[in-house]
Structure 1
Amino acid sequence: MDWIGIIGYSASILLILGLLAGMLWIVRVLSGDSEQFKDLKEMVETLFNTPAHLRPGADPVPGSASGEGEAAAGTESARPAFEEPCPACGETVNERHRFCPSCELRLQ
């Protein structure tokens, strides 16, 4: 075996080990409760799960922590009052229902 082959195999093995170590590090970072890698966690959540602006209870503006209750109250009062049958089962639902009480269909 020549030296170029040995160097190539060694570099390939080191590259594979480096990628494996990087993946394990990412899993360890994302499974912890530390706030140190909050941005990385949010990026991975957005890629593989529901985006931050669509998560229930998520604050749309990162700087305002106290506006969460006010924003929820504002959307409740902004919804027009209605009462109509559920499209799936026919149960009467109104603007306060997020889910149908009988069939649990998510309502818009």
Structure 2
Amino acid sequence: MNKGVFFIFIFLLSSKCFAELPLKTYLEMKSENFTTSYIWGMARGMLWISTIQADAGGKALFCIPTEQSFSGEDVTNMLDVEISKVNYKETDPVEMIFLFALEKNYPCN
């Protein structure tokens, strides 16, 4: 991929008008290093938000055991399994899909 196109793509992804990563784009570019970094960062953000919400007295979105840890590969695998199990649209954001995966794999009882 041309470096100029790569940097334009990253800029557009970070702008407000491209705040979501559509499933189609994820599938086309998931072998790229920046895609893995994006997914890992998104996952860490969701983990923090759920923790902060629960600590503030709200209901956690998902409940991951305290001894559980994740790697970037774990996160990508969880996302890919969720994508393979459900017939998502190409325009569905991977952020939403990953949140559904977390809720299914780590429900709060």
User: Quick check: TM above 0.5?
Assistant: no
Q: Taking CA–CA contacts closer than 8 Å with sequence separation of 6 or more, which of the two structures ends up with the larger relative contact order?
A: 2
More strand by share: 1
Higher gyration radius (CA): 1
Decide which structure has greater helix share. Answer: 2
TM-score, L = length of structure 2: 0.26
TM-score (norm 1): 0.26
